[in-house]
Amino acid sequence: MNNKYIFLTFTLLLAVIACTKVKDYNDPISGDKTKPGVISNIKVANFNGGSHITYSLPSSGNVLYVKAEYVIDEKTGKKRQTKSSYYSDSIMVQGFAEKKEYSVTLTTVTRSNVESDPVTVKVFPDTPVYKQVAKTIRMQPDFGGLNVQTENVNKKPVGVIVLYKPAGSDRYSIYEQKFSDFAALSFSSRGFDTLPKQFAVYITDQWGNNSDTLFQTIKPLFEKELDKSKFFANALPSDGRIGFGWALSNLWNGNTGGTGWHTVQENVPLPIVCTFGLGVSAKISRFVLYGRSGYEYGHGNPKVFSIWGSDKPAPADQVLPVFAEEGTILGDWVNMGNYVWPGPPSGAPPASPTATDRAVFNRGMEFNVLFTAPKTRFIRMAVTESWSGATFAHAMEITLFGNTN
């Protein structure tokens, strides 16, 4: 009984202490109320949209950090605050909206939350990245919509925002957003008929800065699903040998659940290739590839692959490399795009996808063909890596879209 009483008393005491700690969580961690000295020997190095500031800390022994406060957009008055530990002799200020002079207020702060007198520093950041990228925006007609291209030499994250104004409307609304730090970005917004459409694009960054908006009227290009009844197998000597009684023609039989294209399970050089004819000369815009159900993100399903095309009436065989830049021409064949099948959207390991991951996989994956790719009569799919890493590959169906005119 006494032991129970002692345990209960101890538990209550812990609760009281815990409550006291929560109450005093924001109390100063030092009783020293001495005002700290200011930083000195300040130097500024500017970069795109920001500045590095170096300094010498005061001799005060209780300095915890240096704080910088500054306005990043004088039109809106938007402010930022950054902090740098006393272990460092520099601080970075960034997010400025313009290439111009700005004032930055620097103070040292002690462990007792006592601030020094402010020191004002002038910085002159170079042109912000979002403004640099905005100058490179290119909009052009694409199949069923428009193609947008940008360049980002600094490889800093920006957002490319596509706006659309429907006929009869007096305002633009966001149609699509792409966020990237790629040096070059190209994407297409689709879903439109071939009548002229009013589009606009602007660039934004992580600090909420927005560029001027580029407006353009664009007439989307016509596309349709290619007629699979015209497709035919066109095996070349360097193609992968098909096994298990499957057939290349199963790739366009409209059945994603039966047998498809499957190469033999042998130790053969990569890539694993198949070749087929379209029956027409077409400018390909995109395609949907269907993997093998039951082996989602595994077995011989393509993970890394490329599409090659030829508009020759009877293209000669060409041993394809494991990798080639898009647009590379080898013999009668041109690389029309390099692709990676995305991993499970849930973030689960490929070996243990969720039910939703499997459903996404089995819907097929859409890929865009290089916009500058020429017309083609023949397609070669070259699988560089399967999800299992094995030297065989399989797929169930492929659907291609484009313009045969």
Long-range Cβ contacts of 227-230 (<8 Å, 24+ apart):
227/279, 227/280, 228/252, 228/253, 228/254, 228/399, 229/279, 230/278, 230/279, 230/280
Which residues, 6+ apart, have CB-to-CB distance to 10 below 8 Å?
Answer: none
pLDDT at 405: 87
Mean pLDDT value across residues 275-284: 98
Cα(285)–Cα(141) distance, integer angstroms: 12
Alpha-carbon separation of residue 255 from 20, 260, 359, 399 (angstroms): 68, 8, 17, 11
Q: Which of the four pLDDT bands, split at 50, 70 and 90, describes residue 8?
A: very low
Instruction: Please give the sequence-ordered ranges of beta strands (E in DSSP) within 111-267, or none if there are none.
Output: 119-123, 138-142, 145-151, 158-165, 173-180, 184-190, 197-204, 214-218, 224-225, 232-233, 261-262
pLDDT at 13: 37
pLDDT at 314: 98
SS3 category, 290: strand
Cα(143)–Cα(161) distance, integer angstroms: 19
Span 128-140, pLDDT tens digits: 999 999 999 999 9
Span 52-69, pLDDT tens digits: 999 999 998 889 999 999
φ, ψ of residue 266 to 5 degrees: the values are -130, 160
Closest CA to 375 of 340, 334, 338: 334
pLDDT at 15: 39
pTM: 0.72
| Residue 289 pLDDT > 80 | yes
Mean pLDDT value across residues 59-83: 95
pLDDT at 28: 53
SS3 category, 64: strand
Mean pLDDT value across residues 370-389: 96
| Residue 300 pLDDT > 70 | yes
- In the chain, what percentage of residues exceed pLDDT 90? 86
| Residue 236 pLDDT > 70 | yes
pLDDT at 87: 95
pLDDT at 29: 63
Q: Hey, what are 355's tokens?
A: 């039910």
Span 187-222, pLDDT tens digits: 889 999 999 999 999 999 999 999 999 999 999 999
Q: Do residues 230 and 278 lie in contact, with contact meaning Cβ atoms separated by under 8 Å?
A: yes
Mean per-residue pLDDT of the chain = 92
What proportions of the chain, in percent to the nearest 5, are helix, strand and coil? 10, 45, 45
pLDDT at 371: 81
Q: List domains and CATH numbers for the chain.
A: 40-123 (2.60.40.10), 129-221 (2.60.40.10), 225-403 (2.60.120.260)
- In the chain, what percentage of residues exceed pLDDT 70? 93
**Tell me, what DSSP letter sits at residue 195?**
S
